[in-house]
Amino acid sequence: MKKLINDPNDVVAEALLGIEAAHPELAVDHRQRIVSRADAPRRGKVGLVSGGGSGHEPLHAGFVGPGMLDAACAGEVFTSPVPDQILAATRLVDGGAGVLHIVKNYTGDVLNFEMAAELAALDGDLRILTVVTEDDVAVRDSTWTAGRRGVGVTVLLEKIAGAAAEQGRPLEQVAELAHRVAGNGRSMGLALTSCTVPAAGKPTFELGEDEMELGVGIHGEPGRQRVPYAPAREIAAMLVEPVLADLPFHRGDPVIAFVNGLGGTPLIELYLMFHEVNRILTGHGVQVARSLVGSYITSLDMAGTSVTLLKADEELLSLWDAPVRTPFLSWG
C-alpha cells in the first residue's frame, strides 16, 4: 500500500485539519468531527445536515456552504458517524426553522440518524425531517444495506434542497423537494479496480486484468456481476440502459445527467464517458438539460465510474441553477 498518509489510524483526523486550513469559510469541530458553515446557525433558515463514512470525498464536507449543506458529519473510513455527532451537528445548525437530515441508505447511517433524531426530539422544540436516498439500481439488499444503496443522487439532492433552504422555504417544503429528487433519480456504477482502505492495507477485492465489477457499491460491495473488460461505449450502455429501464424516461424528458468518478479515474476518461452517455440518451430522445462531470462521490482510490440521471422539471432545474458556494460546487 502506497498512500499519502502518516498513520492509518489518523487519516480522518488529519484530513479534517487540512480542510480547516484550506477553507477558512468553514468551521471544524475536531472532537465531534463536524464540518459546518462558519456562520451557522442561520436564523429562520432550515438547516441541512448530512454525513457518512469518510473516503467518499468530496461528499459530504466538500458540499458545506451557502446553497448546499449547513453541516456534515465525518465517520471513520467507510463507517457511519455516530448518533452523538449527528445530534451535535443538528443542534449546531438549528436556526429555529427546523433541520433536514439527508441520509444515504446504508444500515449504519440510517440507524444512527434515526437515533440522533429521537434524541433531538427530547429537546421538544427541535423539528427534524429525514430523507433517505436509495438510487442505486444495481442490487436490492447488499452487504451494507436493506434495500437499494444511496449513491450519486445524494449530491444532486443536497444541491437542490440546499437552494430551497437558502431561499427561506419552510421545512416541509424543503423536505418535499428532497423526496421528489430522491424518487426521480437513479444510478448505476462500475469498478475497474478495487479500493484500498488505509487500515486494511490491501485491496478490498480482487479483479483480474480483463474483468470489471458491474454495479459495484461505493464501499467496494459486490455488484450485479463480474463481466469482461469492455470499451467505454459498451460500459456506458451497461450503466445507462438499466437506469432508463428502472425509472421510465419518455422522449423529451429533461434530465440532470451526472457522470461521476470513483476516485481513481482521470477527468479525460469521465468526459469521454459523458460523450457516450449523452449519445445513448440522445438516441432514446432524453434531453440532457444540465450536466455534472467529475469525482464528487468517491470510493477512495477505486478506478471506475457511475452514472446518475435525475428527471427534472423547471422548478428542480431552477434550484439546480441557483447560486452555491462550497469547496467543490460553486457557481452563480
Cβ atoms within 10 Å of 283's Cβ, excluding its own: 9
Burial class from Cβ neighbours inside 10 Å (0-12, 13-18, 19+) for residue 124 reads exposed
Which candidate in 23, 60, 101, 219 is catalytic?
219
Burial 201-229, CB ≥16 within 10 A → b, else e: eebbeebeeeebbbbbbbbbbbbbebbee
Per DSSP, 81 falls in state P
Has 219 been annotated as catalytic? Answer: yes
For the record, the C-alpha cell of 62 comes out as 466538500
**Gyration radius from the chain CA atoms:** 19
Instruction: State which H helix or E strand residue 160 sits in.
Output: helix 153-166
What is the sign of the dihedral through the CA atoms of 153, 104, 137 and 183? negative
Report d(CA 243, CA 215) in Å as an integer: 11
Instruction: Please report the DSSP string for 191-206 in residue order.
Output: ESS--B-TTT-SBSS-
Has 56 been annotated as catalytic? Answer: yes
Report d(CA 99, CA 47) in Å as an integer: 4
Which candidate in 23, 30, 56, 179 is catalytic?
56
Burial class from Cβ neighbours inside 10 Å (0-12, 13-18, 19+) for residue 268 reads exposed
Report d(CA 248, CA 241) in Å as an integer: 11
Give catalytic residues, as residue numbers.
Answer: 56, 219
